Chains A and B, each alone.
Chain A
Amino acid sequence: MADPVDTVAPPAPPALAPGLTYLRFLSAALRRSFSGSWRFYAWMTVLTAIALVGLNGWGHQLQQGMQVTRMSDHVSWGLYIANFTFGVGLAAGAVMMVIPAYLYDDHDMHDVVIIGELLAIAAIAVCIGFIVADMGRPDRMWHILPGIGRFHWPVSMLTWDVLALNGYLLINLHIAGYLMYQRYRGKAPRKRWYLPFVFLSIGWAISIHTVTAFLYQGLGGRPFWNSALLAPRFLATAFISGPAFVIVLLHVVRWSGRLTFGDGPIRTLTSIMRVTVLLNLFMLMSELFTALYTGGAHAAAVKYLFFGSHGKRALVPYIWTAVTLNVTSAVLLFLPRTRVDRRWLLAACACAFVGVYIEKGMGLIIPGFVPSTLHEVVEYTPSITEWKVTAGVWALGLLILTVALKVGLAMWTGKVRAADAPPMGDAAP
């Protein structure tokens, strides 16, 4: 195992010392990410293999163009943007650990909050991966860099999303990195170096998903998206998928024995989900009522999504699966049995996670394009290449999450420490 090999550091010039410690911190983190049990190696190998399949698929897409996808001028966004949208929700959902931990001073949650911050980082990486995968010309990516390219801010909502996502990534990298670094050095973190950022991250988490919803919501030509309810629904679903994933993750972490913590965080997250699953179903019902009772052209996409249109029904199985899973998760979450049996809880989380994944992906992005703006009904189902790239990006996200958790928890619990760090116990924040 990769306990630091450094012996007592040789006396270095004082000006260099912090930098040197930081380098040692990074190298300890790096070493830690490449060593582990055979299980760890197997898991990382599988993920790497999937990521490489995705990389290969993306390479073919770069060479042959996006004709290898099944997107068209009618359905011009597909699986990539669907996954991107869901990923943003996952990143935002992680804030549901930060709010109890810092706003309500929930000490149990405080013990595990680093997991939420690391999840946010991995989820944002996934989002960026899907955006890059969806670009026709990723070679021109620099055009979208503020100050270097032509950043169409504040008019284009996409530029807001660039700021929101990258800002959120940086904030979380800073918070998690700083807390880990202080633990590594055996020092108590200084509040003014992280607490303002924690509060900033709470607002920012809400903003990333709001801005992402505004991306679609602001398009007058797409009645299915052009609803004020879109952003609230995005947040509700984010606060389902985020907690659901974290609950599963907490069980995995506990099972791995790398962190011991009470049942408080899981209870809190379950309570949050009990509210958000109902909120989401309520808003879904409200949207369905508005569309179907009114009828007319504005209902066309909803009708296509739920019942098919002009004999075309590609999305019907998706959305009913999603609705079934969402309703099931709601029922499960309220069963008394779920409070005592964690298998039921995990099943509820799995249902909720998959349900939201389908609803927000295939069930929200695709029907925005069907029927098209000239009311043509052109269907979309993802191609093999799109599935490959999608799997690859998620595998990359899981790789990042695994490494982040492995390194992060080792530092969090004091397993990896600087040679000159004082013994554990002095440094609890």
Chain B
Amino acid sequence: MSCHSLREAAPLPTSTAALDEFHQGLQFAHGELTCASCHLAGPTPSLRRADGERVDLRDAMVLCRQCHGPQARDYDHGAHGGMTGSWDLSTGGRMRNHCVDCHDPHAPRFQPSWPVLPPRDRGITAAAPRRN
């Protein structure tokens, strides 16, 4: 005998089609993961480590590095992720991007964008119509 003999199971959603309210229309493209891979069910939104431990939303990076080891290692060495501020940390701090600043956790591939500042220097301006 189990609980489910008394009550129908209410499984967590596994695809975006099953989502309500503000989740409607969410595009999901993050490998084989499902919602519950990262989200902990509960009254306050929080995240779930692979071993089931609760993780604060602000500490999402802990979650990311479980799978993205090489990126995390590069990040730790300052070789992944954009930043502003100082290279010389003795003179000032630097502001580093968080994983989710650049990667939407539900669709982490970097989104295409339109390039800025096309070259317009001498010689280029007089060039023949563009070939493509």
Seen from chain A, the residues whose Cβ lies within 8 Å of a Cβ on chain B are 67, 71-75, 311-312, 378-380
Contact = CB atoms under 8 A, between A and B. Distances in A.
B123 interface: yes
B123 A378 contact: yes
B26 to A, nearest CB: 43
19 contacts: A67-B122, A71-B122, A72-B121, A72-B122, A72-B123, A73-B121, A73-B122, A73-B123, A74-B122, A74-B123, A75-B123, A311-B128, A311-B131, A312-B128, A378-B123, A378-B124, A378-B127, A379-B123, A380-B123
Nearest to A381: B126
Give 6 closest A-B pairs by Cβ, nearest first.
A72-B123, A378-B123, A72-B122, A74-B123, A73-B121, A73-B122
Contacts of A311: 128, 131
Interface in B116-132: 121-124, 127-128, 131
A299 B128 CA distance: 23
Nearest to A75: B123
Contacts of A71: 122
Nearest to A311: B128
A72 B124 CA distance: 9
Nearest to B121: A73
Contacts of B128: 311-312
Contacts of A312: 128
Contacts of A67: 122
A380 B122 CA distance: 10
Given A74-B123, A311-B131, 17 more contacts: A67-B122, A71-B122, A72-B121, A72-B122, A72-B123, A73-B121, A73-B122, A73-B123, A74-B122, A75-B123, A311-B128, A312-B128, A378-B123, A378-B124, A378-B127, A379-B123, A380-B123
A356 B53 CA distance: 82
Nearest to A310: B131
Contacts of A379: 123
Interface string B91-132: 000000000000000000000000000000111100110010
